[in-house]
Amino acid sequence: MTQWHLEAPIERIWEALVAPEEWPRWWRYVEAVVELEKGDAQGIGALRRYTWSSRLPYRLSFEMRTTALARPTCIEGVATGDLTGTGCWQLRDLGKTTRVQYTWTVTTGKGWMNLLAPILAPVFAWNHDQVMREGGRGVAQHLAVALLAFQGSGARDQVSAAGSSGRPSRER
């Protein structure tokens, strides 16, 4: 699970997250997002192929089908490919700020990762946190707002000297 706290209204964050084809422009490590199927008028059933790099020297590709959208608070999907499972974005309006939580419950489809997972699980979690931290920084920069806090699956609280907007911020 990852949490971002952003100094932006919920609608601005929603618009950035609901347009994943734009993510490679602002999210380091997102190499490509390709729409394969449109889905219905609300976007339910849309299928996209995601290709990600990471801090570690490997790449992951998977397809994600949108299974639920509740504007502006929830985006859910099911992944298949190098990763299989579910992902859920939950946004909470805090007035002038927004708390974003992403829950990613997946297994890997790569044999070498499955073989090494008992030993490298902490490294994989660290890597995921790095990718997600860059997402928080990227969306903040994209929207010209501050990333007030970041919390990853295994991250300790950290204080940052400056947020994405150049103003003091607190990252978790």
Residue pLDDT, tens place only, 43-101: 999 999 999 999 999 999 999 999 999 999 999 999 999 999 999 999 999 999 999 99
At residue 109, the 3 state secondary structure works out as coil
- If one counts every other C-beta atom within 10 angstroms of the C-beta of residue 37, the result is 11
Give the tokens for residue 92.
């909470």
pTM higher than 0.85 for the full model?
yes
Confidence band (pLDDT; 50, 70, 90) for 160? very low
Residues 6+ apart with CB under 8 A from 84: 62, 106, 107, 108, 109
Rounded CA separation 87/40 (Å): 19
Q: What would the pLDDT profile of 94-144 be if each residue is shown by its tens digit?
A: 999 999 999 999 999 999 999 999 999 999 999 999 999 999 999 999 999
